[in-house]
Amino acid sequence: MTGRTDVVRELVGAHGRTYAEEAGIRLRDTPQPLYQLLVLALLLSARIRGSVAVRSARELYDAGLRDPRRMAAADWQERVDALGRGGYRRYDERTATQLGDGAELVSARWGGDLRRMREEADGDVGALRALLQEVPGIGPAGAGIFVREAQRVWPEFGPYLDAKALDGAQRLGLPKDPARIVELAGDTEPAVLAAALVRAALDKDVVEDSLRRAS
């Protein structure tokens, strides 16, 4: 019988790459990468393939739209074009508007520095999720994605597994209790564990591969 610890170990070993890493974000507790993560969370939260969201985020960054000031100053069509190059065409116009409005809000509300949001939340993950959802385009799913990845540099909000990560755990036959899953993962970073579980939730091949490796 395959052990649950073995399943988690093989899952993380083969598929434990955060979405920030995939998007080329060198995540640190500094304003620019945190804002890039917010943009990525917005894109990933739509009903669109994760690979398209990641590619579209990279296109926005490559266009120089890496901070809220530049995002807000960019022409709307410039944002649409960058999203289109990434394949984000179904939602490109609405998302381009949300990115502009969101950048303006982040600049006005937190001075363009999401570390001020962190301070305002004061270690309360529910408060952080609520603050994130003040940003246009960030709903419950987007807030969950941001916290899931940001716990790598904001550890007081972890260990955090969002609903999608728990879906992945269920597909792998792991416990429903987040604390128990974290325990099975041992020293694995919670952000890495969460990303691997999400990949399992989204791709049955990840589930099959992890179970095969653990058997």
What is the spatial distance between Cα 215 and Cα 210, in angstroms, rounded to a whole number? 9
Neighbour count for residue 129 (Cβ, 10 Å): 20
Backbone angle region of 112, left / alpha / beta, with phi > 0 → left and psi within -120 to 50 → alpha: left
CA angle 21, 176, 121 (to 5 degrees): 55
The size of the chain, in residues, is 215
CA 209 to chain centre: 23
pLDDT tens, position by position, for the chain (215 residues)?
358 999 999 999 999 999 999 999 999 999 999 999 999 999 999 989 999 999 999 999 999 999 999 999 999 999 999 999 999 988 889 999 999 999 999 999 999 999 999 999 999 999 999 999 999 999 999 999 999 999 999 999 999 999 999 999 999 999 989 999 999 999 999 999 999 999 999 999 999 999 999 99
